[in-house]
Amino acid sequence: MNFLLHFIFIAAFLLIYIIAIIILKPFRIHRKRPLSTIFIKASYLIYLACFMLMAYLILFFSATTMPTEDVDEERILNLLTVFSVFAFFIPNIGIMIRRRVGSWRVTYNYVVTGLNILISAGLIWFIKDLPWQFK
C-alpha cells in the first residue's frame, strides 16, 4: 500500500512537471529577447523540480517527532514554513505575470530568474539540512 501511495504521488508530480513544460515551451526562442526568456523558463523549471522534491520528501520522509524545547530547531522549522510559503507564491506569480510586463521585460526576466535561482538554492539547502527518516 505504501508503495502505491509513493507511486501515485510521483506520477502526479511528473504529470504536473510535464504539463508545466508543455505550457511554458522552454525551447521556443523569442525573437526580441531570446536569452532572458530561456533563463526565466529554465530557472522556473528548476525551481519547480526542487519544490516538488521538497514536497515529496516532506510528505513521506519528514521527522515525526516534535522538537523538545530546542529553540534552534523550532526557529529552523518556522523559517522553513515562512520560506515555503514565499517559495510557493513568488515564482508562480512571477512566471504568470511576465507577459503583462511591457517595456522593461528583459530586466524583469532577469530579476525573476535570480529570484527563482535563490529560492531553488534555499530549497536545496533545506533539503540537505533537514533530518529525513528514510524507511
d(CA 48, CA 120): 8
Cα distances (Å, whole numbers) of residue 116 to 39, 107, 131: 10, 14, 24
pLDDT in the model for residue 115 = 96
d(CA 28, CA 2): 40
* Average pLDDT score over the chain: 88
Checking if the pLDDT of 109 tops 80, the result is: yes
Higher pLDDT, 38 or 1: 38
pLDDT in the model for residue 34 = 86
State pTM to two decimals: 0.86
pLDDT in the model for residue 13 = 96
Angle between helix axes 34-61 and 71-96 (nearest 10 degrees) is 140
Checking if the pLDDT of 131 tops 90, the result is: no
Could you report the per-residue pLDDT of 68-102, keeping only the tens digit for each? 556 666 676 788 888 889 999 999 999 999 888 88
pLDDT in the model for residue 77 = 72
The residue among 109, 102, 112, 98 whose CA lies nearest residue 33 is 109
Checking if the pLDDT of 104 tops 80, the result is: yes
Q: Which triple of cell numbers denotes residue 51?
A: 519544490
For the chain, give every domain's residue range. Answer: 2-129
Give the pLDDT mean for 99-124: 93
pLDDT in the model for residue 133 = 84
Higher pLDDT, 33 or 74: 33
